[in-house]
Structure 1
Amino acid sequence: MTATTPLLIPGLSVLAPSYRAILCDVWGVLHNGVAAFAPACEALAAFRRETGAPVVLITNAPRPNPPVKAQLASLGVPRDAFDEVVTSGDVTRDAITALDGAPIQHIGPERDLTLFEGFANPLVGEEDAQAVVCTGLVDDENETPESYRPAFERMIARGLTFICANPDIVVERGDKLVWCAGALARLYEDMGGKVTIVGKPHTPIYNLAIARAEAAAGAPLERSSILAIGDGLPTDIRGAYANSLDVLFITGGIHGADFGPAGAPEEDLVRKRLAEEGLRARAAIPELRW
C-alpha cells in the first residue's frame, strides 16, 4: 500500500478476498459491554459465508473462553459471526501453571474467579501471597489506579511479581470509559515492580489464536493471509504490527475522539496518529461493517 492509497475503506468486503482468516477484537468492535454492534457481527458472518474462511475472536478478557462465549451470546453476538474465541485469560492460565501451586493474591472482580478454576494455587490475602494475578480493578465504577498505590508499595517491597491478565488500559462500557488491569500493571511497573503481561499486544495470545484459526481452516496459514481487526492502538494495532499481521483499524472505538467526527474520521489525522505511534494499518474504517 502506497502513501497515496486511500486508508479509509467503506467495508470489510473490500479486503475480504485477500485473506484466509480473521483475528478480530471483541470489546469496542463487536460490542460495547452493553449490546452487540449488529453491522459488525454481520460483517464477520458475511466474511465466513462468502469466503469459507474462519474468524477467531481475540480478546483481552481476563477469563477463560467459555464464560466469554456466554457473555457474547447474552449481548446478542450471533454464533455464526465467529469460529472460536481466544482470551487473555486462556494465556494467563499458562502463567498460573508456571507458579507451581504458589499462593496467589487476586486483584479484580469476583466475576473473574473462573480464571482460577482447576488450579491448586490457594487464593490468599496480600500478606500471604507469593504472586499477584490482576484481572482488573475490584470496583471499576468507583476506583482508579491511584486507589491501589499504598498496597502496591507494600507488594513491591516484598518483591511480588504482578501478572496482568488484561493489558487494556481502558475499555468502553456503554457510553463511558472504565479502567482495566493494564492501567494497574502500568502503575505497578512505574513504581518499580516486576510485571508479567499476557494478552495483546504480546506474542503468546497471537500464537494461540493463529493455531485455532489453522485448526478451523484445516490447513497452515501464512501470516500474510491473516487480517487482524481492532480499535486499540497499544493492544490491537501494535500487537498485529509486532506479529507481522495486516490490521484493519476501527477508528471509532476508544480513540474515536482523536480523529474528528466518530462516523467520519479525518484520514490525515488517522495517518498522523499511526505515524506518531510507529505503527501502520492495512486500512481503517469508523466501525466494522461489510
Structure 2
Amino acid sequence: MAQIISSLAEVSDRYDALFVDLWGCVHNGVKALPEAVAALQTYRAKGGKVVLVTNSPRPRAGVKKQLVHFGVPDDAWDTIATSGDSARTAMFRGAVGNKVYFVGQPGEEKFFEPIGVIKDPVDIKMVPLEQATGIVCTGPRDPMADPDTMRGEFLMAKQLGLPLLCANPDIVVDRGHVREWCAGALAQLYTEMGGESLYFGKPHPPIYDLARRRLAELGVDVADSGILAIGDGVLTDIAGAMGEDIDSLFISGGLAASETKTVTQPDAEALETYLQAEQSSPTFAIGHLR
C-alpha cells in the first residue's frame, strides 16, 4: 500500500533530484497549478534538482515555450527531458528508415527539425503511406476522434511491414476538464493489429536514460536511490519508476481522480483497490502535488 502523504515536503529531504511529470501534475493543459509550482520552488530552494520528464512529442525548446504560456516559472525546474527528443534521436539514427509517413497535428512537423548532436543523421523525408519505410506518430490528427478511425491506414501499414515510432506513449490526457487521445492510443491499436510500435517515452527506458543525462549536465551525480519520480499515470510514470527501481509519488487527483475518489486527497480504500487492479506499487501517494 502506498503511503499517503499531505505534501512533498514530508519526504523530499530524502531525495537529491525529482523526475516530475508535467501534464496533470504541474499544469492541467491550460494553466499552471500554483500549489505544485510552489512545492517545486521550495524543493529547489533547498538545493534539490528538478528534471521535468514529459511524454510530450515536442522538442525540449518547444516544451519550454509551452511552460511560459501556461505560467510555469523558470525557478520551478532545472532541465527538461521529453519523449519527443528521445524519439527524434532514434528517428535520426534510422529507427524507421528515411522515408516516413507522418501522423500528427499541424505544427507538430517541428519534430523533424535536425538534432545537431547526432553524427551523420539519416536524411528524413515525409512521403505518402505507400512509399514509406516507417511511420512517425506524434499524436492523432484529431485528439477527440476515436483511434479506431486509423484502422484502415494501419491495416495497409501492417501489410507493408512498417514500424511505427510513437513520440508520446500516453494513451489519454486531460486538457482542463476535456479528455483527449494521445499517440500512445494509436500505437496501442497498431500493436493490437499486429504491427510493430517503437516507444521512447515513459514507461520505457530511453527517456530515463535521457533524464539521467540531463541531470548529469547539471553537474551533479545522483544515485537512483536519490531520485523520486512524480506523476499521475500508473501505466507511464509509476510503471516507469518501478522498472527503473526508483521511488515514486503517485498524483491520484490527475487521470485517476474518479477511480481514487480524490478531491483533496485520495480515499485510502479506493486508492488501494485501484492500485491493486492496475498492479501498481508507488512508494507514496497524494491528491495533488503541493
TM-score by length of structure 2 reads: 0.94
Equivalent in the alignment of 2:85: 90
Q: Which residue of the other structure, out of 3, 7, 19, is the alignment partner of 1:7? A: 3
Q: Secondary structure at the match of 1:86?
A: strand
* Matched AA of 2:42: A
- Which string of whole-angstrom CA distances, capped at 9 and with x for unpartnered residues, describes residues 226-247 of structure 1? 0000000100010011101100
Equivalent in the alignment of 2:285: 284
Unaligned runs of 5+ in 1: none
* Matched AA of 1:9: I
Instruction: Please show how residues 34-49 of structure 1 align to structure 2 within 5 Å.
Output: 34-49=30-45
Residue 128, structure 1, aligned to residue 131, structure 2: yes
Q: Secondary structure at the match of 2:126?
A: coil
Tell me by how many angstroms 1:31 deviates. Answer: 0.8
- The answer to whether the 8 Å contact 2:265/2:288 transfers is no
TM-score by length of structure 1 reads: 0.94
Distance 1:254 1:261 in 2: 10
Runs of 4+ residues deviating >3 angstroms? none
- Which string of whole-angstrom CA distances, capped at 9 and with x for unpartnered residues, describes residues 21-68 of structure 1? 000000110111111101101111110002x12100000000110011
Q: Secondary structure at the match of 2:273?
A: helix
Distance 2:52 2:282 in 1: 19
Tell me by how many angstroms 1:268 deviates. Answer: 2.1
Q: Which residue of the other structure, out of 102, 107, 111, is the alignment partner of 1:115? A: 111
* Matched AA of 2:209: N
Distance 1:111 1:15 in 2: 40
- Which string of whole-angstrom CA distances, capped at 9 and with x for unpartnered residues, describes residues 149-168 of structure 1? 11111110111101111000
Tell me by how many angstroms 1:124 deviates. Answer: 1.2
* Matched AA of 2:87: T
Distance 1:261 1:213 in 2: 32
- Which string of whole-angstrom CA distances, capped at 9 and with x for unpartnered residues, describes residues 196-247 of structure 1? 111000011011102212332x232110110000000100010011101100
Distance 1:252 1:108 in 2: 28
- The answer to whether the 8 Å contact 1:108/1:138 transfers is yes
Residue 21, structure 1, aligned to residue 17, structure 2: yes
- The answer to whether the 8 Å contact 1:7/1:267 transfers is no
* Matched AA of 1:135: T
**Fraction of identical pairs, as percent:** 41
How many pairs were matched up? 282
Unaligned runs of 5+ in 2: 115-121
* Matched AA of 1:262: V
Distance 2:127 2:30 in 1: 32
RMSD of aligned alpha carbons: 1.4
- The answer to whether the 8 Å contact 2:262/2:287 transfers is no
Distance 2:110 2:287 in 1: 34
Equivalent in the alignment of 2:191: 189
Equivalent in the alignment of 1:58: 53
Residue 138, structure 1, aligned to residue 141, structure 2: yes
Q: Which residue of the other structure, out of 210, 213, 223, is the alignment partner of 1:211? A: 213
Tell me by how many angstroms 1:275 deviates. Answer: 2.7
